[in-house]
Structure 1
Amino acid sequence: MPVSSVESTIDAGFVARHAELARGYGGGGDPADPTLVQAMQMVLHIPKADPPRRNALLAAAASAVVELCLDERVGPDGEWEERYLTWKRSRIRKVARRARGTQWLAAQDVDGVTVEFEGAQARALVPGAVGEIDPRIKRLQIGGTELEADEPNSIIGGYPTLWVNSELGMTVGKAAAQVGHASMLLAGFMPVQQAHAWSARGFRCNVAEADPQHWAQLQRRVAEGSAVAVRDAGFTEVAPGSMTVIAVQMN
């Protein structure tokens, strides 16, 4: 199949990484040994004083996930390739943990990608077996700290928007995992040229809450094929098959 003239101007490594992402994820079942279950750990910086806006933190988390998934180190012959592909081709999971102070600083030394957006910071770590989580990450709390919902939604034009289903009342950790799924799906859904252009803008995105009326409109876009949706496996917080996030590309 011939490569388009536009695609030929993009680094071949990026094209290969995008092609892998565009194939989708999952398909494999869980291993018999529960310690070998694969998960991507996500670290959310939530300081006690002056915590970030909820949607800004979720946007940072979503950008960090897709940036890691298209990082050259997960591509062919990259140092993270084997760990990434083992996770991506299994029953995919993400686990969000909170950190502050020295915990956050320590997390920077664990393989991964950090993104900052409007003062909010999140780090997506290279996936691996849950039985082999770095001790600096394993000690971080999964639940607990919550952030108030933003009001009103702040949408920056020209960037993709990840709409969160407000009816589900997800915690910030659960929502972070879901927008991480959404950013992966959206990047794979985009033609490689658009995904590359998005990467040049740091994978910046909006995250906003959708009320029931808007959610119904977004569901119609999913049915039409102009938006992508995350349907949760139902391991935590929400029922299996729940549509949690709908991602819309904005021009």
Structure 2
Amino acid sequence: MNPDNLVQPIVVLPSNHFETIAAAALASALACAGADRSGAPWSDWLSAGFTKSVRRAKRPADLDRVRAVALTRTEIGVGEAVAMAFAPIVYADSPPPISRLQVSGLDLAREQTTFTLPGAIVPQVQINATVAMTTGKTAAQVAHALGVWVLTMPSELVHSWVENPGLELVTCPFSGDTGEPGSWAVVRDNGLTEIPAGTATVRVGLQF
């Protein structure tokens, strides 16, 4: 990660694979949905490619230290997982309670291929089963897909989702083809980590 990059910090206390992904992605997208995206830092971050840094909290005390940081945050729990997402900041400027947390190696056992969190609106994100990704990497990609969904869908629908957010995750193989026009938004990796640039990692449904 370039230390000068603008990134959205996400901190997650993990539980299982899907709850951890869902919590991190929802926190990220809800932060984006509730922000003033017309000015810095959000407008700069969105125009630069939505880069995120998912860090693992090992114990509740880690979360308490992060909560004490003077940054606006969005926090959500999914099952036993808890995640916090922040407004984008320069990577090198991450406060110590965040920067000290582990940014790699978050990978949990896969016991299911689907997950659903009920809500007023339940966007579906498909995770490409042909691409090897850690739990942390997948969380960042799903967060990117949900961010695209927030920016694409009608504001009234997004508002209803924010009030009672749902999410469906499905692990399945798919190509980079978007299918019928307007049916899917495909996320392609930027190549900053272990995935080759341009790889179709996840996609989010756009039909409601």
Normalised by the length of structure 2, the TM-score is 0.87
The partner residue of 1:135 within 96, 110, 117 is: 96
Which residue does 2:193 correspond to in 1? Answer: 236
The offset of 1:150, in angstroms, is: 3.1
Matches within 5 A, 1:118-197: 118-155=79-116, 159-197=122-160
With over 3 angstroms needed to count, the CA separation of the structure-2 counterparts of 1:205 and 1:165, relative to structure 1, is same
With over 3 angstroms needed to count, the CA separation of the structure-2 counterparts of 1:243 and 1:223, relative to structure 1, is farther
Which residue does 1:57 correspond to in 2? Answer: 20
With over 3 angstroms needed to count, the CA separation of the structure-2 counterparts of 1:131 and 1:145, relative to structure 1, is closer
Q: Per-residue CA shift, 1:132-162, capped at 9, x if unaligned?
A: 1101111111112421113242345761111
Moved over 3 A (4+): 154-158, 219-223
Specify the code of the residue in structure 2 equivalent to 1:129.
V
Normalised by the length of structure 1, the TM-score is 0.73
Aligned to 2:198, what secondary structure does the other structure show?
coil
Matches within 5 A, 1:108-123: 108-110=67-69, 111=71, 112-123=73-84
| Equivalent-residue separation in structure 2 for 1:232 and 1:85 (angstroms) | 20
Contact 1:222 1:228 in 2 (8 A): no
Higher helix share: 1
Gap regions ≥5 residues in structure 1: 1-33, 47-51
With over 3 angstroms needed to count, the CA separation of the structure-2 counterparts of 1:249 and 1:150, relative to structure 1, is farther
Contact 1:55 1:208 in 2 (8 A): no
The partner residue of 2:11 within 25, 43, 46 is: 43
Gap regions ≥5 residues in structure 2: none
Which residue does 2:56 correspond to in 1? Answer: 98
Specify the code of the residue in structure 1 equivalent to 2:189.
D
The offset of 1:238, in angstroms, is: 0.9
* Aligned residue-pair number: 203
Q: Per-residue CA shift, 1:22-41, capped at 9, x if unaligned?
A: xxxxxxxxxxxx54321111
Which residue does 2:166 correspond to in 1? Answer: 204
